[in-house]
Structure 1
């Protein structure tokens, strides 16, 4: 392969570590590979190579098999354990099949014969580095996808920590985020050895944040090379290396991502900062996306309430008029009693009961609205699922009854764990969607049906309508955020939020639809075993 056919980035040359006990062989490889634009580091044996890995993280290692102190096969195994993404080419002058098999099993990229054909060497190096870059990019993409696949903001810190730990091969990772007073608190961590270690990382994170007005660069602390902002970090261990990356949008601090390696030869290097910089940009996007999703979820809940507000006003107006009418009658009868007139006490008592019934109806409506407006989605404990469904039926009644016949067949005794407010919100959304699907529909049947049953330890709820159905090509995208099903009138968040709520409580939601023959949403939630009741 010619020099002109190999693309290099002048500012960031690939780093290759050449390990061979023959000085002339090291010099030959160094000369040839530096001509191709690579940065070359040399080691005369495996143990020396491991020491060098404290200071650098090469993309590729080219090692001889037979060397004093440590063989190339032993070095290969050590490298793959410490730096699994680094590719290793094993060079040997001995064509031993068993050696080749052992090297490939241990993770070698390829085995090449000495003396080298230089063009074969160029080709092998280029292919190894291509795989290194491809794997690095694929790992970053998978990690980023894991962030954005987590639609629940409460679980996002955990996804960030776990993804960052795997991507950077870190022993410990922390995500520090500001509390209401702006102080950094541990949002999530993995691999910390003690509370004292967590407290130390919070302290160091605060130092990085305090220095942001003059220094926005990430902090890298390794043995013998401390960062001015961090000082000595010996409390974390003599062989510990640490990266603290500030997560900032404009002047707003989202937090600090901390990554730690505790032992040689796996110390972080300046090259790792480049990788963390890309990772941090994805973390910032995920956190901002999560924050906006939370705001939109709150807006969606308010939009749901606003959508049924007019109907709720009508629902309250009827019993209010009923209460006022009966109270007026009661007042007239009480006045008559004071004047000594005869009063039908049976009718008076019935008026009191009627007024009470109307007031209770208003109370039920207000309770339903307060329940769906609550945001304590993590509240635990068992509650009656049917009560949450009936609440949703009452709230959505004006939307549903003017467009369809509503039928409910609810099995008694179904209790699920969670919070009734968010669960009611799910069913209000499904009922309103069903009603809107039937608006203008010219089919012979205009029905909405809600059924509940117990099935293998789960409560299964079906909300179905006899509307026009959903086109098959839209079904796979129905629960994606920002995919509207109501044209320009919807946010495209209702079903996505509903699924997140249900999954938070261990449940899920599915949809089936036949164009021209209606749609069925099937909700499932873990139900309390009958024996526990």
Structure 2
């Protein structure tokens, strides 16, 4: 077999160009996507011009003809490689790829028709021109049926041959626009970085066949590129990947290396034969690096593969930047939605607060007079009861005397202090007690209304051990749920003790009322965690029983009027966790509720750090 490279000298592999003749011939069969798939992509994305370095394979059994074509085609336009027959060309195509092949029709061993069929099977992308010294239209048409692009007669007209080669390459270029468009649409339709990474291997393989790929991307807070996880199982030294990516980014153009290159970085990996690295650029800023790898025995990367990969890398950089912007946009939208919810919540509380301030002002003075009157009535009832008992005792004493007048007086006293009088006094006393209980409930309601309106005083902040406070709260016998407190030790926060205690009790009471224990089932404890996160103290309450719907989640922080859960026909004002949220916000803390991954809900309090 005779294989000869004639044309412009290739540049050093380390400079982002293709390797020397010996380097580019290293390797074997090309990468394949599967047993039944073609080892090469079905379509190219090459966009070559007459000055783009078109690679041409000349196949002829006559040495003089091979030499004549090699020297006649302009060296600044064409890279010419020669083969002395069909079998030599097939062997050569196992090591590298060409844009165009020119094959003689009449050759010993493997004729032109057989050669065209074999070359098209190995590389469906390559355009083939058949040359013949015989005016055999039937044979030429047979070659075209096997996939040849066109035919030309010998002796060659170099101008006509050059024009035919450029037409073949132009056809290839136009045919490549469809897959490029399809891949671009598929890539740019991916909205998130995770989606891009999930489909990257498949999309890259459609354009540039490879054994494995590695994607290196910048991460926030890291000085060097981070290597994205891969599932191909190929062990590749991270230092070699970062070195190759550094070269590509520094050169701002693709870097192609083969195993025989003097600066081959993948040592001592024995399975790699060639590597192609693309810098991902967004404007002037590097956005990462894409590295394609082929194994030993596979052909090195060709010029056309380098160019189609360059187009894909540009699209990939744009897709990654779009995904990043989408992520930032979604985060900002979530922040805006959260801010809107906070504003709506604050507006509702402000509206309720104005109403509460008016109600509190209107009720405070009458309530104070009513309370004073009830206290006086209660005191009077006690005095009357004492007087009644004294009268009854005096009547009993007088009734035992022999004096008729004493007996008559005793009868009058007993008549006045009889059973009906005792019942009346008892009714007045009980009514006073019930009225005082009602007054206290109204006072507590007014206190809550003052808190909603912002009129209640803010409790002074201090350094509080919330672990100790939690342990005291969960021992409260009025709470109907068991608690499981988990903490590594004291957790200190800077909070107003009175407001924080009130808020915590409201939250615990809410959870106990909102998710009562099922009858006949063992108690399910409410898990309480306390600790530090990002320099701030937190309390996390995990309730496996309470599942919050979206509507229910919106309700728990809003004051509302609802039917009484016991009577069912009485309306009552339900503040939910609005007061707790308001009091916590006043001290610089926050309260959020979210679904629990394993079911139920999580309530999280984030508190100001202790000074």
**TM-score for the superposition, normalised by structure 1:** 0.53
**Given the alignment, which residue of 192, 196, 201 partners 1:156?**
196
Structure 2 Cα separation of the partners of residues 208 and 8 of structure 1: 26
- How many residue pairs are counted as aligned between the two chains? 361
> In structure 1, how many angstroms separate the alpha carbons of the residues matched to 2:120 and 2:144?
11
Task: Flag the 1:55–1:155 CA change in 2: closer, same or farther, 3 A.
Answer: same
Cα deviation per residue 1:230-286 (whole Å; 9 max; x = unaligned)? 435562526x21112233557855322011223556311466444433332332222
> Superposed, which structure 2 residues align to 1:130-529 within 5 Å?
130-180=170-220, 181-187=222-228, 189=230, 192=232, 194=233, 197-200=234-237, 202-209=238-245, 218-226=254-262, 228=263, 230-233=264-267, 235-237=269-271, 240-248=273-281, 253-262=286-295, 264=297, 266-269=299-302, 272-307=305-340, 310-319=343-352, 342=432, 343-345=435-437, 387-388=549-550
Note if contact 2:247-2:255 (Cα within 8 Å) is conserved in structure 1: no
Aligned match for 2:60, one of 11, 20, 26 = 20
Return the match for 1:41 from 49, 68, 81.
81
Contact 2:152 2:161 in 1 (8 A): no
Over 3 Å counting, the alpha-carbon distance change for 1:99 and 1:306 in structure 2 is same
Distance 1:254 1:395, change over 3 A: farther
Within 2, Cα distance between the matches of 1:189 and 1:135?
A: 32
Alpha-carbon separation, structure 1, partners of 2:229 and 2:121: 26
Aligned with 2:56: secondary structure? strand
SS at match of 2:269: helix
Q: 1:37 and 1:211 mapped to 2: Cα distance? A: 28
Mapped contact 1:109–1:128 kept (Cα < 8 A): no
Contact 1:60 1:87 in 2 (8 A): yes
Deviation of 1:8 (Å): 8.9
- Separation (CA, whole Å) in 2 of partners of 1:385 and 1:144: 43
- Structure 2: how far apart are the matches of 1:174 and 1:316? 54
Of stretches 15-24 and 266-275 in structure 1, the one that deviates more from structure 2 is 266-275
8 A contact 1:219–1:243 mirrored in 2: yes
1:380-419: CA deviations, max 9, x gaps?
xxxx9993367689999xxxxxxxxxxxxxxxxxxxxxxx
Distance in 2 between the 1:352 and 1:76 partners?
96
Cα deviation, residue 60, structure 1? 0.9
Cα distance between partner residues in 2 of 1:100 and 1:351: 104
Q: 1:125 to 1:385 in 2, by over 3 A?
A: farther
Deviations 1:148-204 (A, max 9, x none): 2212232122344332221112232222224443454443647x3x2xx2443x332
Unpaired runs of 5+ in structure 2?
1-46, 380-431, 453-502, 512-545, 559-611
Tell me the TM-score normalized by structure 2. 0.47
Q: Match for residue 86 of structure 1?
A: 126
Query: 1:13-52 CA distances to partner (integer Å, 9 max, x unpaired)?
Result: 3221111223344345445544995332211123432454
For the aligned residue pairs, the C-alpha RMSD in angstroms reads: 5.0
CA distance in 2, matches of 1:319, 1:75: 88
SS of equivalent to 1:267: coil
Instruction: Tell me by how many angstroms 1:128 deviates.
Output: 1.4
**For residue 149 of structure 2, what is the aligned residue in structure 1?**
110
Using a 3 Å threshold, how does the CA distance of structure 1 residues 249 and 345 change in structure 2: closer, same or farther? same
Please list the CA deviations of residues 450-496 of structure 1 after superposition, one character each: whole Å capped at 9, or x if unmatched.
xxxxxxxxxxxxxxxxxxxxxxxxxxxxxxxxxxxxxxxxxxxxxxx
Which structure 1 segments of 5+ residues have no match? 1-6, 365-383, 397-533
Aligned match of 1:482: none
Greater Cα radius of gyration, structure 1 or 2: 2
CA–CA distance in 1 between the matches of 2:122 and 2:98?
A: 12
- How far does the alpha carbon of each residue in 1:407-441 deviate from its partner, in whole angstroms, 9 at most, with x for none? xxxxxxxxxxxxxxxxxxxxxxxxxxxxxxxxxxx
Larger relative CO (CA 8 A, sep 6+): 1 or 2?
Answer: 2
